[in-house]
Amino acid sequence: MSKLKVLITREQLAEKAKEMAAQISKDYEGKELLLVGVLKGGFMFLADLVRYLTIDVNIDFISCSSYGNSTVSSGVVRILKDIDYDITGKHVLIVEDLIDTGLTLTYLKDLFAAKCCASVKVCAAMDKPSRRKVALEADYQGIVIPDQFVVGYGLDYAEKYRNLPDVCVVEEI
C-alpha cells in the first residue's frame, strides 16, 4: 500500500474552481463558449468547474498522450480522441488538470488556433511554473504547487489514484 500525503485539500480545490468559474462567467458573458476537457486527468476539474458557471456553455473532450515515458513529457503529442465540434468562430477554453512543462497545452493551443476559432485560452486546476520548458501561461491559473509529483483529483500514477478527492504526494510507492 502506498503512503499518500495530502498537499491540496478538496475544500481548497472547490474554492479555486468556484473562483475561476466566477471569472470565466464574467469574461465570456454573451459569447459562445466551448469548454474542451483534456482527458483523462481533466475530467474531475471540468466537472467541478461547470457546476459553478452562470453562463451557457458547450462541453467537449480531447484525449491525448505524449510519447516517451510516463513521468517526463516529450512534447510530441498524440491525439487519441479528437473533439466532436466544429470550432470555427467559437471561443475555446481548454480545461486541464495541471500544467507542468507546458508542452501539451502549447501543442493543443496551436492545434485549435489553426482551426480558426475566435479565441483559445487555457484554464488549469494546478500549475508547476518552475517546470516550464516553453513559455506557456494559463489564462486562468489554478493552485501553484512545487516541483513534486502529485496524484488525485484526476491525476494518476500508472493509472491509479485518479479518484482521490484531495491532491496528494506519493511518499512511498
In a 3-state reduction of DSSP, which class is residue 52? helix
Instruction: Kindly tell me which residue out of 41, 49, 61, 93 binds ligand IMP, with binding defined by CB under 6 A.
Output: 41
Residue 116 has phi, psi (to 5 degrees) of: 60, 45
Which residue in the list 100, 139, 156, 166 is annotated as catalytic?
Answer: 100
- Residue with smaller CB distance to ligand IMP, 37 or 102: 102
Residue 127 designated active-site:
no
Binding to Mg ion by residue 97, rule CB under 5 A?
yes
- Look at the block and give the residue holding cell 483529483: 153
Q: Rounded distance, CA 145 to CA 130, Å?
A: 9
Instruction: Indicate whether 67 belongs to the interface with ligand IMP (CB under 6 A).
Output: no
Per rule CB under 6 A, is residue 127 in the interface with ligand IMP?
A: no
| 142 touches ligand IMP (CB under 6 A) | no
Q: Which does 155 bind (CB under 5 to 8 A by kind): Mg ion, ligand IMP, none?
A: ligand IMP
Per the CB < 8 A criterion, the answer to whether 94 and 122 are in contact is: yes
Which residue, 21 or 42, is less far from ligand IMP as judged by CB? 42
In this chain, which stretch among 6-14, 39-47, 115-123, 158-166 interacts with Mg ion, using CB under 5 A?
Answer: 39-47
Please tell me the distance from the alpha carbon of residue 159 to that of residue 39, in angstroms, as a whole number. 12
Cβ-count burial 90-111 (b if 16+ within 10 Å, e if not): bbbbbbbbbbbbbbbbbbbbeb
Does 37 bind ligand IMP (CB under 6 A)? Our answer is no
Q: Mention every residue, 6+ apart, whose C-beta is less than 8 A from residue 43.
A: 37, 61, 154, 162
CB of 146 to ligand IMP, least distance (A): 10
Q: Which residues are catalytic?
A: 100
Judged by the rule CB under 6 A, the positions of this chain that interact with ligand IMP are 41, 73, 96-104, 149-151, 155
